[in-house]
Amino acid sequence: MFLSRNIISRTYIVVNSFVGAILWYTSTVSDLENDFAFQIKASGLPAPEREYRFMTTRRFRFDFCWPVFRVVVEIEGGTWARGRHTRGSGFEKDCEKYAEALIAGWSVLRVTGAMVEDGRAINYLTQILEMKGL
């Protein structure tokens, strides 16, 4: 099932005049997170905690968290636009965060904007929560 809040209206075409290429950007990270929150609610899944801080000794936060199930979702924005998650230090910090979460027993679902928009992300989350006893 595909659920989304009017994604088409937020689609922009950006013309790169230096190269003459056309780049498609569909949403910002916060838009993606809001779309995913809408999908979670519409699917009847339990409400997540947002921007959940899972370690008291670090400032790591997860976009969506279900502490009872020890499941988190991270939406990786900017994957095609050299966003924070795909550049050197940002990628390194993300890898460290995911490693710490796995060591602590969390299941980490990383999804891209395209996966949110086409419904794959909500389908993966539903399957994971069902495996965890939802």
Mean of per-residue pLDDT scores for the chain: 77
Please indicate whether residue 123 or residue 1 has the higher confidence score (pLDDT): 123
Cα within 13 Å of Cα(119), Cβ side: 6
Q: What pLDDT digit, counting tens, does each position of 4-60 carry?
A: 444 433 433 333 333 333 333 344 447 899 999 999 999 999 999 999 887 777 778
Ranked by mean pLDDT, which of 8-12, 24-28, 94-98, 115-119 comes out on top?
Answer: 115-119
Domains for the chain: give ranges and CATH numbers.
7-131 (3.40.960.10)
Q: Tell me what pLDDT residue 93 has.
A: 87
Q: Tell me what pLDDT residue 79 has.
A: 61
